Chain A
Amino acid sequence: MKNKISVNVNGKQYEGEVEGRELLVNFLREHLSLTGTHIGCDTSSCGACTIHLNGHAVKSCTVLAVQADGAEVTTVEGLATNGELHPIQEGFKEEHGLQCGFCTPGMMMTAVDLLKSNANPTEHEIRDALEGNFCRCTGYHNIVKSIQYAAKKMNGATA
């Protein structure tokens, strides 16, 4: 049985028809072609599929597309505004926060969620917030630096 859903993704309203069992990450990737959100472990462990659902970071492999009906979703594609990188994207670029890049969208979405609730996190708080995001290039040090860069920039200091 198909269910009609209406979801605001990155500021744009989308209507769709999905089966109850369809996962939000598949809806984003396959219906909307927003392939920046990755499928990693597919078991809510690795965090590659992290998006924001109504402003909170969640793992979209463990959310049904129907659950997002009426919700606001932000994916990594929604971070930049008018072609200008979000401070977190700039941070990952400047601090070499990625190698293969597979985990990067999820890392950035979790980091933005952290910085919303804690504008000036300590290194420990950053590492704690990233416990649900795995980087298999083991680039955690530079990811932490990237988030520190973004925090500084978002707080108005010169980086």
Chain B
Amino acid sequence: MIPISFNYKKASSVDEALSLMTDDAKILGGGHSLIPALKLRLNSVDTLIDISKIENIKGINDNAQSVTVGGGATHASIASNSALAKAAPMMAEAAHTIGDRQVRNMGTIGGSIAHADPAADWPAVLLASDANVVIKNKTGQREVDIDQFFTGFYETALADGEIITAIRIPKTAYNANSVYEKFKQPASRFAIVGIAAAAEMDGNVVKALRIGVTGLAEVAFRPMEVEKELIGKELTEANIDAALGTIANGVSVMGDHYASEKYRTHLAKVYTKRALLRLK
């Protein structure tokens, strides 16, 4: 399968990529969402601007307050990064479950969240981590709180002509104690349900808790009522079961030939429980 013809432009810097942007252009990161869509002709572009050769957006930097992950960092580089393994172990755990070895060598975190597939792994993890998305445009740079980033089905707060240059993961007690649990679609490895959970504990009691859910609804989300219900409590099976009833409150649950709405909701509860029981 071959895409419809397009112009290809290679950018050597983010500024150059921004200057090349037009209304009908798209950004090529790792290309592992966009190229399949172009090949299947679900999508077409007039111009493809390749940012995969821009070295300074590929790194992962360990700072005092946060770990900054370049928008062009591959899933493989995140899976093997020691700073992230310590600051937010759910990052490495989730990275290792994306696609397969070859896909992880090409696909990037910036490309994944810009695409915002409702079954992708990063949205859940980044919601749980309270990340900030660093975005560049022709007039400068802005940061978007992850809670405001995913706005709908394949929709984000990213405006036309903007590029994700980095994602900041704060170094917090809850991120240092975080896990990712996923029920994989057996062929694609996308999440039928994926749960990221991060908790700060005070002894056996939850002091702070963030949960990210992907795959269940049209857009990844935080089940705020579940989070709130468990603050000040021990993560026992009984307490978790009592809190999980509200997990799908206020969201539009997806159903398809892999998993019905009812089954997906059930899976979300099972996998959230598994994730929470692993937190120490």
Contacts and interface: CB of A to CB of B under 8 A. Distances in A.
Chains A and B come from one and the same complex: yes
Interface of A: 1, 3, 19-23, 26, 42-45, 47, 50, 53, 56-59, 62-64, 66-67, 69-70, 110, 113-114, 129, 131-133
Given A56-B105, A57-B102, A132-B99, A64 B7 contact: no
A37 B53 CA distance: 25
B166 to A, nearest CB: 22
Given A62-B31, A131-B189, A57 B105 contact: yes
Given A20-B5, A131-B189, A64 B101 contact: no
B107 to A, nearest CB: 9
B102 A132 contact: yes
Given A3-B8, A64-B35, A131-B101, 6 more contacts: A20-B7, A21-B4, A23-B39, A62-B106, A67-B52, A110-B101
Nearest to B106: A58
B3 interface: yes
Contacts of B35: 62-64
B188 interface: yes
Nearest to A128: B101
Contact of B36 (A3, A43, A66): A43
A42 B1 contact: yes
A88 B2 CA distance: 32
A21 B5 contact: yes
B234 interface: no
Interface in B20-62: 28, 31-32, 35-36, 38-40, 48, 50, 52-53
B64 interface: no
Contact of B2 (A21, A45, A113, A131): A21
A58 B32 CA distance: 11
Given A20-B48, A63-B31, A69 B10 contact: yes
Given A19-B5, A21-B5, A113 B39 contact: no
B36, B38, B189, most chain A CB atoms within 10 A: B36
